[in-house]
């Protein structure tokens, strides 16, 4: 382990799962590096208030929570680097991890780079992110208490979000580009009998407008070809997620949507590669769950690294004889 670019564990992704994995791996004594392409903390930094994370009864901002996680992992010796991983290759004992900055070799890899919300890619979406535009009804719904909001989408996530929002808001407009929902029948039944929900069919959002916060949506009816406006205080985008697994398909097994198969110990189909958080198949996509995944992955990694280092030691000893 003399080479500075040789590690025992490399963690790819700096959200709650990655930072927790880094904390546990470093505390266990593994020479660990966490690589994050963007902001440490992941999607949680966009949440103005996290109320459902244990230990913070009054809530805490997503940026503060992620900062505290980063500080704690750093305290126990976790190395971090801002770069993007572009390829992972498997060798006999080591994996080669290629980044935009440099190349590393490591005995193990923990993939925690999550998934990204599919964007509308319309004017105003980025500008009002955190100021009326949200991708998480569970995280931000309470901020719109007694106001009118809209949800874009027609699948299970969109309808689940819309129903969740009815607990807080005065009215929810569900905007869908088709004339029928794709959500499961039980969700549709609940949605159609919920008095706070109003459906706008065959329609897309063209632009999000406002001052400091969202005030208006510019809409387009695909059937009538009419343009019209809708006054709302918030827009929840629920048109799907895209897992960040494009660089790992050559080394691990993915499901048909690109998420990673893992077992109960967060081990993937390939020995030495683990995955945790939103990027794994059937993730709960909540901070508390990602933290648990990260801890499990790190402990599994520690056990794996010990076994591999024992094998290397025995092999080196036999070669010297």
Q: What DSSP string describes 245-279?
A: -TTTTTTS-B-TTSPBP--TT-B-SSTTEEE-GGG
Nearest to 206 by CA among 245, 175, 183: 175
Residue 14 sits in the same domain as residue 111 = yes
HSE toward the beta carbon, residue 72, CA cutoff 13 A: 17
Of 136, 161, 278, 293, which residue is the catalytic one? 136
Instruction: Supply the pLDDT for residue 321.
Output: 60
Q: How does residue 2 score in pLDDT terms, banded at 50, 70 and 90?
A: low
Q: Which of residues 209, 237, 265 is at a domain's end?
A: 237
Give the CATH number for residue 261. 3.50.50.60
Mean pLDDT of 176-204: 97
Quote the domain boundaries for residue 227. Answer: 133-237
Q: 226 with 148, same domain?
A: yes
Indicate whether 160 and 296 sit together in one domain.
Answer: no
Asked whether the predicted pLDDT for residue 49 surpasses 80, the reply is: no
pLDDT at 320 over 90: no
Same domain, 245 and 232: no
Out of 9, 113, 139, 161, the active site residue is: 139
What's the confidence (pLDDT) of residue 136? 86
Q: Looking at the domain assignment, is residue 103 inside a domain?
A: yes
Q: Are residues 207 and 229 in the same domain?
A: yes
The answer to whether position 231 is within a domain reads: yes
In terms of domains, do 23 and 70 share one?
yes
159-163, 199-203, 317-321: which has the minimum mean pLDDT? 317-321
Number of domains the chain is built from: 2
The answer to whether residue 145 is domain-embedded is yes
Within this chain, do residues 144 and 195 fall inside the same structural domain, yes or no? Answer: yes
* % of the chain with per-residue pLDDT over 90: 83
- Please say which residue of 205, 221, 237 terminates a domain: 237
Catalytic residue (one of 9, 58, 74, 140): 140
Same domain, 226 and 79: no
**For residue range 238-296, what is the model confidence (pLDDT) as tens digits?**
998 889 998 999 999 999 999 999 999 999 999 999 999 999 999 988 899 999 999 99
| Residue 35 within a domain | yes
Asked whether residue 126 is assigned to any structural domain, the reply reads no
The owner of tokens 């955190």 is 130
Known catalytic residue at 9: no
In this structure, the answer to whether residues 143 and 194 fall within a common structural domain is yes
Residue 123 in any domain: the answer is: no
Check whether residue 95 and residue 165 sit in a common domain: no
Classify 188 as helix, strand or coil.
helix
pTM above 0.85, yes or no: no
Of 237, 265, 295, the one marking the end of a domain is: 237
Q: Are 208 and 235 in contact (CB under 8 A)?
A: yes
Indicate whether 261 belongs to any domain: yes
Q: How far apart are CA 76 and CA 29, in angstroms?
A: 9
Please say if 74 is a catalytic residue: no
pLDDT at 256: 92
Residue 122 lies in a domain: no
């Amino acid at each position: 382990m003399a080479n500075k670019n040789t590690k025992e564990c490399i963690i790819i992704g700096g959200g709650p799962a990655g930072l927790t994995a880094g904390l546990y791996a470093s505390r266990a004594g593994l020479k660990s590096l966490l690589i994050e392409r963007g902001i440490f903390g992941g999607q949680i930094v966009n949440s103005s208030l996290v109320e459902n994370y244990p230990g913070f009864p009054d809530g805490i901002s997503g940026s503060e929570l992620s900062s505290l996680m980063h500080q704690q992992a750093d305290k126990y010796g976790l190395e971090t680097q801002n770069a993007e991983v572009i390829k992972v290759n498997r060798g006999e004992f080591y994996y080669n991890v290629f980044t935009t900055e440099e190349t590393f070799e490591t005995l193990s890899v923990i993939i925690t780079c999550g998934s990204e919300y599919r964007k509308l890619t319309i004017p105003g979406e980025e500008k009002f992110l955190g100021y009326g535009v949200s991708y998480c009804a569970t995280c931000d719904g309470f901020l719109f208490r007694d106001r009118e909001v809209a949800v874009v989408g027609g699948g299970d996530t969109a309808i689940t979000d819309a129903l969740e929002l009815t607990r807080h808001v005065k009215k929810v407009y569900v905007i869908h580009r088709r004339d029928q929902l794709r959500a499961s029948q039980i969700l549709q039944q609940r949605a159609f009998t919920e008095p706070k929900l109003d459906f706008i069919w065959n329609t897309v959002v063209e632009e999000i407008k406002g001052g400091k916060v969202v005030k208006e949506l510019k809409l387009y009816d695909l059937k009538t070809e009419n343009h019209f406006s809708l006054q709302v205080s918030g827009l929840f985008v629920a048109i799907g997620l895209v897992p960040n697994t494009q660089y790992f398909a050559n080394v691990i097994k993915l499901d048909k949507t690109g998420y990673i198969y893992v077992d109960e110990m967060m081990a993937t189909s390939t020995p030495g590669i683990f995955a945790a958080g939103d990027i794994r198949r059937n993730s709960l996509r909540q901070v508390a769950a990602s933290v648990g995944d990260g801890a499990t992955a790190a402990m599994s990694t520690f056990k794996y690294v010990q076994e591999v280092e024992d094998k290397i030691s025995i092999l080196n000893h036999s070669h010297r004889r």
